[in-house]
Chain A
Amino acid sequence: MIGANGAGKSTLMRTIAGLHAPLAGTIRLDGQDITRVPAHKRVAAGIVLVPEGRRLFASLTLEENLKVGATRARRGRWNLGRVYELFPWMIERRERPTAFLSGGEQQAVAIGRALMANPRILLLDELSLGLAPVVVHRLYDILPELLASGMTVLLVEQDVTQALRVSDWAHCLLEGRITLSGRPHDLAPADVEAAYFGLAEKRASGRG
């Protein structure tokens, strides 16, 4: 999911996670209407959000942050040990609060916390926000492993190149509407640019 600032990407993610009620329309999971299901029950249904800004719990240690992620865990391959396998550096700092971690490390904890619930659909919102490119690259390196386990990942990313590199399917969002969809290798850079900045939208609606 790509799009400029204010395109509605985060709102979409938060609505899917159950933090916003949609003004119209329905949200379906496996054909079941979950529009009115509260956020905490959607976790049990397999929808887990890694929110923008990470939102770790300040008064909890690193390990407690991970454990609280398993509050409504589904059965699956992810548990504390697996998360530590994925991020071995965490073991040494498990007893410490997360405030002392770097931004990239905090993002890793947020991902680990979400994995603890064994999501079917993992919502990653602005994974790279405020992080150094090398750190972002390392975080993206774990995506193939998650996808290989059968998990669906819905990724919101402002860095278009990065997003198109890792995804199977891309949507471009503008002012709350999808302006372009397709497999990344089918999308011409010019079309993406047009959809991203709204040129296509304006052309299509005749308002330009």
Chain B
Amino acid sequence: MSRPPTSAWRKSALPGAGSGVIWVNAVVQGILLGGLYALFACGLSLMFGVMRVVNLAHGDFAVLAAYLALAVITGLHIPVLWSALVVAPLFAVVGYLVQRFIIQRSLDVSPLTTLLVTFGLSIVIQNALLTTLSANSQSLPSGSLASASVQVNGQLSIGYVSAIVFATSVVVVGALQLFLSRTGLGRQVRAASDDQEAASIVGVNVRHVYGIAAAIAFATVALAGIAFGMYSSFDPAAGPQRLIFAFEAVVIGGMGSLWGTLVGGIILGVAQVLGAQVDAGFGVLAGHLVFLAVLALRPSGLIPARIT
């Protein structure tokens, strides 16, 4: 049973507080939770938008990043946020290599093969983690950060962790968008995504550019993995359950659109928190229902743009 990280929203409803405040609080916490989903989903969105690759191991790489962060934190005795400075660049390198040497090879065979290969990667990562690190669940020690929050007013408080994650998510999506639309390399990425062959005859090294896109996607996966690890505990099998949330965010927002993914993540987060407000067990289901409604009524998503 997959559950959203429960520490994401702290019901700050005081006894006797108006019910309106409770709902406002739920929406705010939902938006913040949506930031986590968007941060997690934007790598999936980028890889799909640029290479048409659906990375089924996306969630497992996030879990792997969380384990790596744990090792870095305990090994180097640094605070949780600093671990991102080590894990994200490392994951960028991993992403480039995985793209060039594993995904690209399957992409050359057929797009369907990439599904099989990334599914295989997912199983390999899960089992490698299971055999080496056991099935015990872990969490990232975020120290005083975990319980610290800003009191907006009497009824509404915002946790540091969720605020930092949300801000990171907006910055990452904004930076990615700027990179794609304003830089020469971003232009090459879009050209390679539009038409591989035409890109190669204007001088774009398509495989290298795809590797760069994967490197960026994996760096965001690392950030998301660490964020998840701060929100809640993780274990080797946690990846696929989380992947569902990323898929839902991407589909709600519109395949391959980065701002759409941010919006999709936020809508999913709000739906889950509002659902949980109605009934504690209804949260995840409410998210799925919104996802299904969008899939039925607007299959191309709310912002059906290509990566531009």
Chain A nearest CB, measured from B54 CB (Å): 20
Q: Report the interface size for chain A: residues with CB under 8 A from the other chain.
A: 27
Q: Are B198's CB and A67's CB within 8 A?
A: no
From residue 138 to 176 of chain B, which have CB atoms closer than 8 A to chain A? none
Q: Are B203's CB and A19's CB within 8 A?
A: no
From residue 186 to 213 of chain B, which have CB atoms closer than 8 A to chain A? 187-188, 190-191, 193-195, 197-206
Chain B: interface size category: 20 to 34
Check A120 for interface membership: any CB of B closer than 8 A. Answer: no
Q: A57-B194, A59-B194, A59-B308 are in contact. Are A18 and B200 (CB under 8 A)?
A: yes
Contacts of A57 in B (CB 8 A): 190-191, 194-195, 198-199
How far apart are the CA atoms of A38 and B206 in the complex, in Å?
11
Q: Are A58's CB and B194's CB within 8 A?
A: yes
Residue of B nearest to A49 (CB): B201
Chain A nearest CB, measured from B255 CB (Å): 14
Contacts of B200 in A (CB 8 A): 18-19, 38-40
How far apart are the CA atoms of A85 and B206 in the complex, in Å?
30
Chain B nearest CB, measured from A95 CB (Å): 12
How far apart are the CA atoms of A68 and B183 in the complex, in Å?
11
From residue 128 to 187 of chain A, which have CB atoms closer than 8 A to chain B? none
Check A71 for interface membership: any CB of B closer than 8 A. Answer: yes
Residue of A nearest to B205 (CB): A40
Contacts of A72 in B (CB 8 A): 203
Check A121 for interface membership: any CB of B closer than 8 A. Answer: no
Chain A nearest CB, measured from B213 CB (Å): 14
How far apart are the CA atoms of A183 and B203 in the complex, in Å?
33
Check B26 for interface membership: any CB of A closer than 8 A. Answer: no
Check B307 for interface membership: any CB of A closer than 8 A. Answer: yes
From residue 91 to 141 of chain B, which have CB atoms closer than 8 A to chain A? none
Check B20 for interface membership: any CB of A closer than 8 A. Answer: no
Contacts of A105 in B (CB 8 A): none
Select the residue from B199, B201, B206, B308 with max chain A CB neighbours within 10 A. B201
Contacts of B198 in A (CB 8 A): 51, 55-57
Contacts of B194 in A (CB 8 A): 57-60
Chain B nearest CB, measured from A107 CB (Å): 14
Check B184 for interface membership: any CB of A closer than 8 A. Answer: yes
How far apart are the CA atoms of A51 and B198 in the complex, in Å?
8
Select the residue from B187, B198, B199, B205 with max chain A CB neighbours within 10 A. B198
How far apart are the CA atoms of A17 and B197 in the complex, in Å?
11
How far apart are the CA atoms of A59 and B195 in the complex, in Å?
10
Check A43 for interface membership: any CB of B closer than 8 A. Answer: yes
How far apart are the CA atoms of A113 and B194 in the complex, in Å?
15
Contacts of B187 in A (CB 8 A): 60, 64, 67-68
Contacts of B204 in A (CB 8 A): 40, 68, 71
Q: Are A68's CB and B188's CB within 8 A?
A: yes
Check A44 for interface membership: any CB of B closer than 8 A. Answer: yes
How far apart are the CA atoms of A114 and B202 in the complex, in Å?
7
How far apart are the CA atoms of A58 and B195 in the complex, in Å?
9
Check A198 for interface membership: any CB of B closer than 8 A. Answer: no
Mark each residue of chain A from 95 to 121: 1 if its CB lies under 8 Å from any CB of chain B, else 0. Answer: 000000000000000000110010000
How far apart are the CA atoms of A25 and B185 in the complex, in Å?
35
Check A3 for interface membership: any CB of B closer than 8 A. Answer: no
Contacts of B195 in A (CB 8 A): 55, 57-58
Q: A44-B203, A68-B204 are in contact. Are A19 and B190 (CB under 8 A)?
A: no
How far apart are the CA atoms of A40 and B191 in the complex, in Å?
13
Residue of B nearest to A50 (CB): B201
Residue of A nearest to B194 (CB): A57
Q: A60-B187, A67-B184, A68-B188 are in contact. Are A55 and B197 (CB under 8 A)?
A: yes
A sample of 19 cross-chain residue pairs with beta-carbon separation below 8 angstroms, ordered by A number, consists of A17-B201, A18-B200, A38-B200, A40-B200, A40-B201, A48-B201, A48-B202, A51-B198, A55-B197, A57-B199, A59-B193, A60-B194, A67-B184, A68-B202, A68-B204, A69-B202, A71-B184, A73-B203, A117-B202
A residues contacting B by CB (< 8 A) are: 17-19, 38-40, 43-44, 48-49, 51, 55-60, 64, 67-69, 71-73, 113-114, 117
B residues contacting A by CB (< 8 A) are: 184, 187-188, 190-191, 193-195, 197-206, 306-308
